[in-house]
A and B are shown apart, each in its own frame.
Chain A
Amino acid sequence: MTMRFAPSRRKFLKASAAIGGGLTVGFHVPDVLAQAKGAAGTEINAWVVVRPDDTVIIRYARSEMGQGSMTSAPMLVAEELECDWKRVKVEYASANENVRRKRAWGDMASVGSRTIRFSQEYLRKGGATAREMLIAAAAQKWKVPAAECTASGGVITHAASKRKTSFGKVANDAAKLEPPKEVKLKEPKDWKIAGKPIPRIDIPDTVMGRQRYGIDAQLPGMVYAAIAQCPVFGGTVKSVDDAKLKGRRGIIKVLPMGTFVAVVADNWWRAKEALKDVAIEWDFGANAGASSASLMDFYRAGLDAQTDIAVSRKQGDFEQAFSSAAKKLEAEYFTPYLAHSCMEPMGCTALIKEGRVDVWTSTQNAEATLAVAAGVAGVPLENVEVHRTQLGGGFGRRGGGQDFVRQGVAIAKAMEGTPVKMLWTREEDTQHDLYRPASLVRVKAGLDPSGNPVAWYSRVASTSIISTLLHLPLKPPLSPAEGIDPQAVASFTDLPHAIPNVKIEYAQRNAHVPVGFWRTVGHSQNPFVRESFMDEIATAAGKDPFEFRRALLQKSPKDLGVLEATAKAAGWGKPLPAGVFRGIAQTEAYGSYTCAVAELSVNGNGEVTIRRLVLGVDPGYVVNPDNVLAQMQGSAVFMLTAMFWGEITIKDGRVEQSNFHDYRMMRLREMPKVELVLAPSGGFWGGVGEPGQASIAPAVCNAIFAATGKRVRSLPLKNQGFSLA
């Protein structure tokens, strides 16, 4: 059986209005979600719908790309709702309805590890409010005070009169009540669903091949588009000669689209093959001479510049403290451009018809997709629907930017009335990413005669994601100071160590290579610099790297807590077999505190065998512990891939890598043992999708230093004579 996407929303509006007795505003139920199929129900509030058979539908507003939030977020609603988790189904909230209902579901973006930490309060309140309304409806029916009634497992009980009813029976009455203004949320220690290892709701569909991704959209009469973008970033189409395609089977149209050329055909393979026979002349523009070497010169000039420099933190007097220090250290660190390489390449299916736009795409931000589609099509926001699907990986690629939506909707506009599925090849995906910015960093430290650091300096030279991708001005409140991209100097500006004189600078140097948010963003690279250099200082001071950090973090209890817990679990200080060495690093990222201890050996050929990677994380509260472990395991693979092999290089203004044969991914045989130290200390909410990566690269490089005496200051490791055994 195949599942088709239903482009008609109106039908659903009618159906839910009828079944819900006119109480629901109506909702698009995406066909892709088998979990939510069946009769509509009564909407208690934006998050909770109750069906007469006691099934509870919890709506999920953000995206699911493997991070597990489509399970964790509803767990928080269910926890307060006091429903039976076994009777819960999850459906996506509609981006179109979010526009029409004054953002009833708030922010829909899954970015910045924020799904739980930024929405936990309103999700829990949504569940608690619905619970109170359901209880109130039952109490009214029984003519007893609501305070005498309780709810548990979807059943409402009035103990004194031994009466019971279920959510489904009172839902219609509950929906008519005014929601309570104040609700009391549970203490996390009293949680029954949250905090437990709950299986992910999307996994059964995945293992049966029923999960639907953007690439799987299928519409009647649909045609397919393959595209070629100008190989040099910023270039444009000069001329297109498609004479060779004359009479070719299945070819429908060749479209010059300004910065790219699209071939439209009756299946994607024919479109892609035909594209090879289209002669395209490009105007490469001003950047055709750029190379990795010229970019490096550009960034190095930023490190040396006296002007166009912004200061993100100034504490004490760095210059004075450094010049009078007993010992001085100075180094330059480099991290390269990286591609996201989501397993599902970028793509977008769109249909423009009678002033209405329907979009099917894997997006991390359905609202941004909706806005971009409306803008390109020239229709009001209310006339667009973004049909939600699972994402075949996201990692930040599918959030800001939305370049693939812009293209897909532009093609659909050129083919008005016909649904078009636009899909990139892996080669396009690798060569037209919004890359993790390359970053060159100068660090300096001064030590007093006892080896205590008294001065710290960092200057970062890189392209600003926020100014070039989001086109936002770099100034407060977005930035700590004018001219600062907070991501570019992340983990430097907030250096938690007890060092009296600190100066952190940013040299915004925007190159032509497009950049974007790559999982863990600034914290994917700056902790490598900070925590490697911290090791350099510890070595210069003749101190143990763990004890050195411990002493400097005495006034930062959360950093200290995860450092100590992880070191203890890893057996820091205990003897190791001959030839095995440890490295440690500690970082805060996305509101969570992380630490990594790598245990490894390096043979004479530079082959690194990682025996253990102990990852500590304090996210404040844990919603789904098994999912935290999955995210930490995944973070290890993602970061090890990047640090051993990841680098996008530029020649003649374009990217040299093209596919997995020359942009290498880690494979199963290379997976080390990952141990999780989950140390939630409570009182705050941190993320888990990204923080895990932050401490891994420096921990591994610090262990490599311990093993070989070689200090790695530039990634990837393959360029430094190391490989992963």
Chain B
Amino acid sequence: MIKFTVNGRPRTADVEPEMPLLWVLRDVLDVKGPKYGCGIAQCGACTVHVNGEPVRSCSFPASAAAGKSIVTIEGLAARGRLHPVQQAWIDHQVPQCGYCQGGQILAAVALLKKNPNPSDKDIDESMTNICRCGTYARVRTAIHAAAAAMKPAKA
């Protein structure tokens, strides 16, 4: 039995230790936000946060998540308020089909946590998730907008 929290809620799963976290979330716990795209950590559609770090859950064994805190796209909005990255995604009409966007948003949140004011080059280097619809230009714009929105108000 593996125990962890998902979006703040304690969950347990009776699964093989090597079962990828993605499939534990999707098929065992019915958390559908993380998506399957490639299964080999190439595309990032399955991105979730494990203790605040972005992880490609298709290639992350369930056993490695034991005792940890997992946040998926469903759990990003806190107390009914959108995360500034989510808001920027709406303001700039980023998604097209949307399938990869949960992963894109979680990757962007992780980037902004480490680097609150990323340059274009920083965005280039850290945003490696694949979007087949081609929303990249808007992803970039929205990250800059979210960074601006998240800046603490000047005294």
A→B interface (CB under 8 Å): 2, 64-68, 199-200, 202-204, 206-213, 215-216, 218, 224, 249, 267-270, 341-345, 390-395, 423, 425-426, 626-627, 630, 633-638, 659-661, 665-669, 671, 673-674
CB-CB nearest 9 A-B residue pairs: A637-B134, A66-B96, A66-B97, A392-B99, A209-B73, A209-B33, A206-B98, A634-B134, A669-B124
Can you identify 24 A-B contacts, CB atoms within 8 angstroms? A66-B96, A66-B98, A200-B95, A207-B82, A208-B74, A209-B74, A211-B98, A218-B30, A249-B16, A267-B23, A267-B27, A268-B26, A269-B20, A342-B132, A345-B36, A345-B37, A395-B132, A425-B39, A630-B93, A635-B134, A667-B130, A668-B139, A669-B125, A674-B137
Q: Are A208 and B73 in contact (CB under 8 A)?
A: yes
In the bound complex, residues from chain A placing their C-beta under 8 Å from that of B19 are 269-270
Interface centre among A218, A268, A342, A671 (most CB of B within 10 A): A671
In the bound complex, residues from chain B placing their C-beta under 8 Å from that of A666 are 134, 136
In the bound complex, residues from chain A placing their C-beta under 8 Å from that of B33 are 209
State which of B16, B35, B42, B89 has its C-beta within 8 Å of the C-beta of A344. B35
In the bound complex, residues from chain B placing their C-beta under 8 Å from that of A66 are 95-98, 133
Interface of A is mostly: loop
In the bound complex, residues from chain A placing their C-beta under 8 Å from that of B32 are 2, 209, 212, 216, 218
Q: Are A2 and B30 in contact (CB under 8 A)?
A: yes
Q: Are A660 and B133 in contact (CB under 8 A)?
A: no
State which of B27, B37, B95 has its C-beta within 8 Å of the C-beta of A203. B95
Tell me the nearest residue of chain B to A392, going by C-beta: B99
Q: Are B98 and A390 in contact (CB under 8 A)?
A: yes
In the bound complex, residues from chain B placing their C-beta under 8 Å from that of A209 are 32-33, 72-74, 76, 102
Q: Are A634 and B139 in contact (CB under 8 A)?
A: no
The reply to whether the CB of B138 lies closer than 8 angstroms to some CB of chain A is: yes
In the bound complex, residues from chain B placing their C-beta under 8 Å from that of A345 are 36-37
Q: Are A426 and B93 in contact (CB under 8 A)?
A: no
Given contact pairs A206-B95, A630-B96, A659 touches B134 in the complex (Cβ within 8 A): no
A399 → B minimal CB distance (Å): 15
Interface of B is mostly: loop
Q: Are B97 and A390 in contact (CB under 8 A)?
A: yes
Give the contacts of B58-106 with A (CB-CB under 8 A): 72-74, 76-77, 82, 86, 89-90, 93-102, 105
In the bound complex, residues from chain B placing their C-beta under 8 Å from that of A65 are 97
CA distance A215 to B98 in the complex (A): 13
Q: Are B124 and A207 in contact (CB under 8 A)?
A: no
Q: Are B27 and A668 in contact (CB under 8 A)?
A: no
In the bound complex, residues from chain B placing their C-beta under 8 Å from that of A218 are 30, 32
Q: Are A203 and B89 in contact (CB under 8 A)?
A: yes
Given contact pairs A659-B38, A661-B42, A268 touches B23 in the complex (Cβ within 8 A): yes
- How many of chain B's residues have a CB under 8 angstroms from any CB in A? 57
In the bound complex, residues from chain A placing their C-beta under 8 Å from that of B23 are 267-269
State which of A207, A391, A634 has its C-beta within 8 Å of the C-beta of B105. A207
B→A interface (CB under 8 Å): 16, 19-20, 23, 26-28, 30-33, 35-40, 42-43, 45, 72-74, 76-77, 82, 86, 89-90, 93-102, 105, 123-125, 127-140
Tell me the nearest residue of chain A to B75, going by C-beta: A209
Given contact pairs A207-B89, A343-B100, A633 touches B135 in the complex (Cβ within 8 A): yes
Q: Are A207 and B86 in contact (CB under 8 A)?
A: yes
A346 → B minimal CB distance (Å): 12
CA distance A660 to B132 in the complex (A): 11
Tell me the nearest residue of chain B to A200, going by C-beta: B93
In the bound complex, residues from chain B placing their C-beta under 8 Å from that of A270 are 19
In the bound complex, residues from chain A placing their C-beta under 8 Å from that of B133 are 66, 343, 393, 634, 637-638
Q: Are B74 and A210 in contact (CB under 8 A)?
A: yes
B99 → A minimal CB distance (Å): 3
CA distance A210 to B132 in the complex (A): 20
Q: Are A204 and B90 in contact (CB under 8 A)?
A: yes
Given contact pairs A199-B93, A269-B20, A668 touches B132 in the complex (Cβ within 8 A): no
Interface centre among A200, A343, A661 (most CB of B within 10 A): A343
Q: Are B137 and A660 in contact (CB under 8 A)?
A: no
In the bound complex, residues from chain A placing their C-beta under 8 Å from that of B35 are 213, 215, 343-344, 392
A12 → B minimal CB distance (Å): 22
A368 → B minimal CB distance (Å): 19
State which of B77, B101, B105, B132 has its C-beta within 8 Å of the C-beta of A341. B132
Q: Are B40 and A661 in contact (CB under 8 A)?
A: yes
State which of A267, A393, A423 has its C-beta within 8 Å of the C-beta of B132. A393
Given contact pairs A668-B127, A669-B124, A637 touches B136 in the complex (Cβ within 8 A): yes
B64 → A minimal CB distance (Å): 15
B120 → A minimal CB distance (Å): 9
Tell me the nearest residue of chain B to A342, going by C-beta: B132
CA distance A635 to B137 in the complex (A): 12
In the bound complex, residues from chain A placing their C-beta under 8 Å from that of B124 are 668-669
With A626-B93, A665-B43 known, 5 other A-B pairs at CB within 8 A are A209-B74, A423-B36, A633-B138, A660-B130, A673-B137
Q: Are B96 and A634 in contact (CB under 8 A)?
A: yes
B151 → A minimal CB distance (Å): 21
Tell me the nearest residue of chain B to A635, going by C-beta: B134
Q: Are B134 and A199 in contact (CB under 8 A)?
A: no
Interface centre among B37, B98, B135, B136 (most CB of A within 10 A): B98
Interface centre among B16, B100, B136 (most CB of A within 10 A): B136
A534 → B minimal CB distance (Å): 26
